[in-house]
Structure 1
Amino acid sequence: MLVEEIMKTDVLTLPPTASVAEGLQLLRDNRIRHIPIVDNKSQVIGIVSDRDVRDASPSVFDQFTDHRALNNEIQSIMSHPVVTVHPMDFVEEIARVFYDEEFACLPVISENKLIGVITEKDMLYTLIQLTGTNVQSSQIEIKVPHRPGSLPKVASIFGERNTNITSILMYPYNDDPNYRILVFRVQTMNPLPLIQDLRDAGYELMWPNNIAEPRP
């Protein structure tokens, strides 16, 4: 999946000379958490978060605070330089950037111009879609040898019962490089026949690991 498929394109921005007060108002009125700061060529030169603005804003409970701080230019509190992504980047790779750098928002740049943003919330929703948990389904986890052909062999068992697979994931099995865990989400509310087929084929199920199809 590409960044351009999930990014938001209706991005609210401010110029660097806008006041902190303008940033605060923009965040409140639109219930957003980040504002890209752009120059007159739509190039991103900084980014401001709701936390940046809150930290720069005087407390309404302190009568001795100098409220002139709200008149400061927003470029005085923006973060820069800004890490950006391209619309043709893979979402799965960008997720690592979010995790490693602890970002909550990344501007999307094409030809040096801002065309969108992607947020941690967008990433979380995309993960839900990729794992298939957004549709009604059953989950089956299978331990398989880590060698070529393992996935199609297991998938063929689902095909024999004409079961629709909504998603497939793979992750390591503990610290053993010889095995992997395949996670299937399938559109069936009665996975018991599939579970028994998999066991009959010699596969070890990690989940569900205590259900078997009753024998006649």
Structure 2
Amino acid sequence: MLVRDVMKSPVLTVGPEATLEEAYKLLLERGIRHLPVVEEGRLVGIVTDRDIRLATSHLNPKGPCPGCTRVGEVMTREVVTAHPLDPVEEAARVMRERKIGCLPVLEDEALVGIVTGIDLLDALLRLTGVTEPSGRLEVRLPDRPGELARLTGFLAGRGVNIHSLLSYPEGREFVRAVVRVNTLETHLLAEALRREGFDVLWPPKKPW
């Protein structure tokens, strides 16, 4: 799954000469938290609801117009961006490492979209198949060639269709495979897997 599959487009933007009051009204009206700042078709910054709240809290409320401060005065100028063909997991890694809530998406220096943390959560739901009727299996496999194929081969032999399969390392010796399958009878399937020597973590063994 790529950034282009989950990004929002077209993007609501604001100019650097807009006031904080105008920007904040846009954020409230659209129910969003981030506004890319564009000048003459070029991305020059980004402003968030938090930026606006912090900026206005430091202004004198008895001043002439606290909300009349320009967006260009408080926006973040060094914007971290993504490309439409970036994998979603790479976008998630960048956002986590930089501790930011969104990535404007540029293609040939043109702003073509924006991806947020919520978009990445939606992507995770789609990748795991949880949005479709399915059953869930979680199996611990030895980290060696052929083990994942053995698992999928077993499921195929029982006529079970795999909706999604994610795996991640557990230490240096094992891999956990999280599988979404086209059956809700996962307890029966889990018991059959255990009889074949698989270490099934979910669903757990029934007490009887």
Band of TM-score, shorter chain: over 0.9
* Cα distance between partner residues in 1 of 2:187 and 2:68: 66
Question: Would the aligned equivalents of 1:38 and 1:45 in 2 still touch at CA under 8 Å?
Answer: yes
Superposed CA deviations along residues 97-119 of structure 1, whole A, max 9, x for unmatched, are 11111111110001111111001
What is the aligned partner in structure 2 of residue 206 from structure 1? 201
Query: Which sections of structure 1, spanning at least 5 residues, go unmatched?
Result: none
Letter in 2 for 1:202: G
| Aligned with residue 186 of structure 1, among 173, 181, 188 | 181
CA RMSD in angstroms, aligned pairs only: 1.9
Matched, 1:197 2:199: no
Letter in 1 for 2:28: R
Superposed CA deviations along residues 86-138 of structure 1, whole A, max 9, x for unmatched, are 00101011111111111111100011111110010000111111111112222
Length, aligned pairs only: 207
Alignment CA distance shift 1:187-1:21 (3 Å)? same
Alignment CA distance shift 1:87-1:118 (3 Å)? same
* Cα distance between partner residues in 2 of 1:160 and 1:211: 24
Q: Percent identity between the aligned chains? A: 37
Partner SS state of residue 125, structure 1: helix
Q: CA deviation at 1:197?
A: 2.3
Matched, 1:10 2:10: yes
Q: CA deviation at 1:58?
A: 5.8
Query: Which sections of structure 2, spanning at least 5 residues, go unmatched?
Result: none
Alignment CA distance shift 1:192-1:24 (3 Å)? closer
Partner SS state of residue 57, structure 1: helix
Q: CA deviation at 1:80?
A: 1.4
Partner SS state of residue 120, structure 2: helix
* Cα distance between partner residues in 2 of 1:58 and 1:90: 38
